Amino acid sequence: MKIYFKHLQIVQISLYSILLLFEPSFCQNIQLPNVDTVNLIGGNIVYVNINASGANNGNSWSDAFTNIEDGIEKANSSNAQVWVAKGTYRENLVMQNSVGIYGGFNGNETSLNDRNPSQNITTIDGQRRTRTILCYGSNTVDGLTIKNGYVPEGNGDVLQNRGGGILFYMANGAVKNNFISDNSAGWGGGIYVEGNVNNPGYVLIEYNIITRNTGTSCAGGIEIDHSRATVRFNTIVDNIGHGLEIPTHPPITYGEFHSNIVDGNLFNNHPRWNGYRPKGMDVWAYARACTDYTFIGEIWDYDSRWGSPFDHPTNIYGDHENKDPRFINRQGRDFRLQSNSPCKGTGKPSGGSATNMGAIQGGSTTSETVSTPNQPSGPSSGTINQNLSYSTGGSSSSSGHTVEYQFNWGDGNYSGWGSSSQSHSYANSGNYSIQARARCITHTNIMSGWSASRSVSISADSYTLSISIYPSGKGTVSRNPNKNSYNYDETVWLTATPSSNYLFDQWGGALSGNTNPRKIIMNDNKSVTAYFKQIPEEVSTPNKPSGPASSKIDLSVTFTTSGSICNYGHAVEYQFSWGASDQSEWGFSSQSTNYSTVGTFTISARARCKNDTNILSDWSSGKSFSTSGYKLNISINPSAAGTVSINPLKYQFNSGEVVQLFANPSSDYLFDKWSGDLSGSDNQVLLIMNNDKKVIAHFKQIPEKISTPNKSTGASDGKVDQNLTFTTDGSSSNLGHSVEYQFSWGDSTESSWNGNSSSHAYTNPGTYQVRTQARCIDHPNIVSDLSESQSITITPNFYSISGKACYYSGEQPIQNVTIAVSGDKDTNQQTDTNGEYTLQLECDKNFKMTPIKAKGMNIGYLDITMYDAVLAARYSMGLEQLDDYQQIAADVDRDGNVSLFDAVLIARYTIELPSPTDSSCVSEWTFSPSERFYQNLNSNFSDQNFFGIILGNIHGSWQPPGSIKINRLKTLTYQYLDKIKIEKKRVILPLIIDPEQNVQSIEIELMYDSNALNFQKIEKTKLSEKFQLFHNNCKGQLRVGMFSVTPSNGGGVLLKLIFSTNPSFNKKVFFHLKEFKINKKINMQVKMEIILNKKVFPITNYKLSQCYPNPFNNSTQFNLDLPESGFIFAVIYNIKGQEIIKLIENNFPAGHHILKWNGTDEAGTFVNSGIYLLKLVFNGKSGSKESSIRRIMLMK
């Protein structure tokens, strides 16, 4: 199971001003104990490596998962071990079942004992989103660094606020060889173990370093509540809250608490308990039951407010009165023990030899240390933001390595690691304490303690701001706030205001740039100069000229502009550029000009100062103006009959300009004359342009003729759909134009216009006349006469053969008969729903058609009955006449004769008994005729019918599937229930028939409870002694068939079905007579109930239950108890009171009965959804009368 924490809102509670995080070199020199101390998981292994690049399925180191969560999910199914390679995994995990996770692997190990957690640090970082690990099952956590788990203190259960690093919740397991740090929770910042009276659990906690975790309520290190935990050989130091708290109830009877170092776990700075509770360890509430413990360090072991402390047995190892455990480098998180540590050799003996207290059992006692540096030297006072320098020194490495220094500035800031002299500035006034420490550059986890502190006092100061103006008197500067002096870091806004005809230019002195206004930060005395410059005289650009957009040449046109001003207020005058290399004189804003040429011109304007005419504006944007001359319009009649050349070729002409015109007729045309502003028939003329002119050039066409093409050539006969090609030629144009041809095929279709050859396929037989004609490609309306015709005769290509397949007895259509065609072509077709087929076959070919239908296909349960066996038997003995088709149907062994053996094969088929030989063809289809032949097919054929026969269906009542409407049978209670005999070990069920039914065959299908009853045999009676009897019994289904060539008209018991009872069943059982056929008729469907031990269900009162289910969809039933026999009349009505169906109208014996309704009416048709009513009337044998009504809801 995966639990995601992406969307949890985490509220962090800061418990101290700064938390120094160091990645430890995992429990330096820890010697891992054997891993089978607590073996809670199976032997399967799932691999995790954050750097794996294989299939990521967890099956090997190369194909490892890249996150632990996927590994745990896979391990859940097989209780596997999850091996995790070195690296940092930022996850929050949930563990269940018997899964364990093991860290410290390089990524190539084959055994747990091959790993080295000191070198291969495997970190699970909870990222302060929620707790790092939650354990629900029997889980092991071994060889990991677990950090940054977080659950806030607050109301709620254990899962909400306990166990920041690891929470064991009603679980078993082991926490071994881990480094657990920097986790936070309300209770149990490092580890919390939760049990209860019914599930105390067992958790082994050993060889762990648990440091710098926080319990915001209490228990920063470990809290154990109602659990049988063993806590031994752990180093629990420097946590906020108790190092170890055991508020347990009921008494711990199996726990061990010894050989732990519990030291420096503070409450004096705790936000809740400051000044109220001491530090160290808290064991209360029935803790006297703890059997063994040993602690050293700062221990609080009694407070009457919380319960009784430990008794003090005599087997205490070591001293527990505030001894310094003497770690190698406590601040550097090197918790190995110095040679003179009181914890060395004072743990509980293991195997007869003394052991160390705490998590670290091995390691050198003379490891490298770094001595504490000197007190920092430097100034004892300064001002805000003043850069102050301090120096230290004097530290050395016991191994001779180089050291580097770090300063704690006392204001919440630390320097980086570096030289012994570093600088810092303070943002606020006050008194600060400066300390220094050192560390080995080679082994950065080896650090000294902090030095003695150096005090410094930081105060505020005031500064002056002087401002000067250049040039003098050409502007002013205002300041905000306007003060004589300013505090340190105070912001002052300066605004420069220029005098008339001057602009602010830039800042100088303590400021630069030209931003105005501008702020200055007063962190020193400042001097600022504001520079101004004179504004030069300027004339603004005038507006775009306005005036007409176009004009005829030689006409005067006027244009106007405006909008120019002088920034000194002087008057201005204007000049226009006319766009034709000339300009106007300087003058007014409206001026006129005229143009002598045709063209498009851009008109612009500019202005200048009248006082100083050298001060000019830029030219304005241009206005477009065009001039026009005289136009010459030429048209051609008829259109496209020719062209007219113009020289010079221009759109407009100047006055008096001479133009030369030349008429050019198109092909097949001649020039005729000019009209309009010209006359005459000369092809080349001159025209003088003194006005707009219009000229028309007239052309006349040369008549074109196309000669008749030759008679087409090609085949004289062909087949339907055969592609036939014809060719013609001989046409030409008197004008030499190219021609194209079209063929008229004689079948009311024509070819497209194209070359002299074309193809055509005729769709119908007959004789056709092919003719052609031609036309000019350039003038498609010039068409020749039709050519002489060519005759072609078309004969058919395919012929149609059609017919149908129908049943022999009533010619009912037979669907899905395959009409297989063989011979010159193999194909097939299936008959449609009307039994019909149509085949298109190639002419002059030979074919054979064979009808095929699979055995048993479309055969219903009424198509072959025991009555067919009677007909076969009677015919074989000369007692019955069969027609030819019936004789074929009766000969089911296909030996050419109808015998009693054929009757036996049919009878066995009806009750699903296997055939005694391989010669039975019952339920096979055969057809008459069996095949048809066609030689040299040369015409269409219809009514090619085949008559289908089902072998065994002698009575001939077959109908196509879906065409027979089978009435649904009423389900009745067996009316002869009192005839059933229940003996000590068996049940005898008589099957009774009424007289005068002319019985020749009977088929029975009976369902019974095979768990309660065992079928034994069938006994004939005098009524059935002449019948041939067959039966088939299988898994609670008994099928019985019998027939006789001599009809029986007697009534009474026909057969006795005998069952033995199962002694283990002492209850009521049910029979369902699903089918009871007499001859061809289905008589009834009956359900029966028999009580094997009537004393179990005594019935003393009449009772009709409500139906179940209600509402119903398919069927519903009622339970009916009758204390005596009597007559039952039961009817279903709709809500309008209209009768739907008579369910029962019969005598019933005393006992329990079940009535069912399947939602149909008398005709067997399903009724609509709605509310219906059951009315039941019972007239008892003793004269009693009962009547009941029950409400039913039908929902579809």
- The structural domain count of the chain equals 9
* Domain encompassing residue 392: 381-454
Helix (H) or strand (E) holding 64: none
- Most confident region among 29-43, 347-361, 405-419 by mean pLDDT: 405-419
Report, as an integer, the average pLDDT of 51-75.
Answer: 95
CA distances from 322 to 299, 319, 325, 326 (A): 7, 8, 9, 12
One domain for residues 959 and 1016: no
Three-state SS for 979?
helix
Would you say residue 639 lies in a domain?
yes
One domain for residues 971 and 1059: yes
pLDDT in tens, 678-735: 999 998 999 988 888 899 999 988 888 999 999 999 999 988 888 999 999 999 998 8
User: CATH number for the domain including 1162?
Assistant: 2.60.40.2550
Between 1054 and 271, residue with greater pLDDT: 1054
Q: In angstroms, rounded to a whole number, what is the distance separating the alpha carbons of residues 807 and 978?
A: 47
User: CATH number for the domain including 784?
Assistant: 2.60.40.10
How much of the chain, in percent, has pLDDT values that exceed 90? 44
One domain for residues 245 and 337: yes
State residue 589's pLDDT score.
Answer: 93
Please say which residue of 943, 966, 989 terminates a domain: 966
Task: Give 382's contacts (C-beta < 8 A, 6+ positions apart).
Answer: 388, 426, 456, 457, 458, 459
State residue 531's pLDDT score.
Answer: 95
Report, as an integer, the average pLDDT of 132-151.
Answer: 95
Q: In angstroms, rounded to a whole number, what is the distance separating the alpha carbons of residues 1073 and 1037?
A: 10
Q: In angstroms, rounded to a whole number, what is the distance separating the alpha carbons of residues 54 and 318?
A: 52
pLDDT in tens, 1167-1189: 999 999 999 999 998 889 999 99
pLDDT in tens, 956-1012: 878 776 554 444 444 444 444 445 656 667 888 888 887 877 888 888 888 888 888
One domain for residues 997 and 885: no
One domain for residues 1048 and 1104: no
Would you say residue 1014 lies in a domain?
yes
Dihedral sign for Cα atoms in the order 52, 57, 60, 63 = negative
> Which has the minimum average pLDDT: 93-102, 798-807, 1065-1074?
1065-1074
One domain for residues 400 and 326: no
State residue 95's pLDDT score.
Answer: 94
Three-state SS for 113?
helix
pLDDT in tens, 213-240: 998 887 888 888 877 788 888 998 888 8
One domain for residues 506 and 643: no
Band of pLDDT at residue 453, cut at 50, 70 and 90: very high
Question: 673-712 in b/e burial notation, b at 16+ Cβ within 10 A?
Answer: bbeeebeeeeeebebebeeebebbbbbeeeebebeebeeb
Would you say residue 1146 lies in a domain?
yes
pLDDT in tens, 617-669: 999 999 999 988 888 999 999 988 899 999 999 888 887 789 999 999 988 78
Would you say residue 113 lies in a domain?
no
pLDDT in tens, 1019-1076: 988 888 888 888 888 888 898 888 887 888 888 888 888 888 887 665 667 778 777 7
State residue 4's pLDDT score.
Answer: 31
- Are 51 and 361 a contacting pair, CB within 8 Å? no
Q: Does position 74 have pLDDT exceeding 80, yes or no?
A: yes
Q: Does position 286 have pLDDT exceeding 50, yes or no?
A: no
Please say which residue of 491, 506, 534 terminates a domain: 534
Q: Does position 153 have pLDDT exceeding 90, yes or no?
A: no
Structure tokens at 510: 């303590």
The pTM assigned to this predicted structure is: 0.35
One domain for residues 1090 and 1102: no
One domain for residues 432 and 471: no
One domain for residues 517 and 592: no
Would you say residue 114 lies in a domain?
no
Q: Does position 937 have pLDDT exceeding 60, yes or no?
A: yes
State residue 354's pLDDT score.
Answer: 58
State residue 246's pLDDT score.
Answer: 64
Q: Does position 293 have pLDDT exceeding 60, yes or no?
A: no
Would you say residue 853 lies in a domain?
yes
Q: Which of 832, 796, 791, 866 is nearest to 1081 (CA)?
A: 866
Question: 767-790 in b/e burial notation, b at 16+ Cβ within 10 A?
Answer: ebebbbbbbbeeeeebebeebeeb
Please say which residue of 966, 988, 1021 terminates a domain: 966
User: CATH number for the domain including 422?
Assistant: 2.60.40
Q: In angstroms, rounded to a whole number, what is the distance separating the alpha carbons of residues 696 and 634?
A: 6
pLDDT, averaged across the chain: 83
DSSP for 706-770 reads: BPPPPPPEE-SEEETT-EEEEE-----BTT---EEEEEE-SSS-BPPSBSSEEEEE-SS-EEEEE
Phi-psi region of 736 (alpha: psi -120 to 50; beta: other; left: phi over 0): left
Q: Does position 495 have pLDDT exceeding 90, yes or no?
A: yes
pLDDT in tens, 1109-1157: 989 988 898 888 899 989 999 999 998 889 999 988 888 888 888 888 9
User: CATH number for the domain including 1086?
Assistant: 2.60.40.680
One domain for residues 344 and 217: yes
Would you say residue 370 lies in a domain?
no
Task: Give 1135's contacts (C-beta < 8 A, 6+ positions apart).
Answer: 1170, 1171, 1172, 1173
State residue 270's pLDDT score.
Answer: 43
One domain for residues 287 and 430: no
Band of pLDDT at residue 2, cut at 50, 70 and 90: very low
Three-state SS for 810?
coil
Would you say residue 489 lies in a domain?
yes
pLDDT in tens, 903-916: 888 888 888 888 88
How much of the chain, in percent, has pLDDT values that exceed 70? 85
Q: Does position 428 have pLDDT exceeding 90, yes or no?
A: no
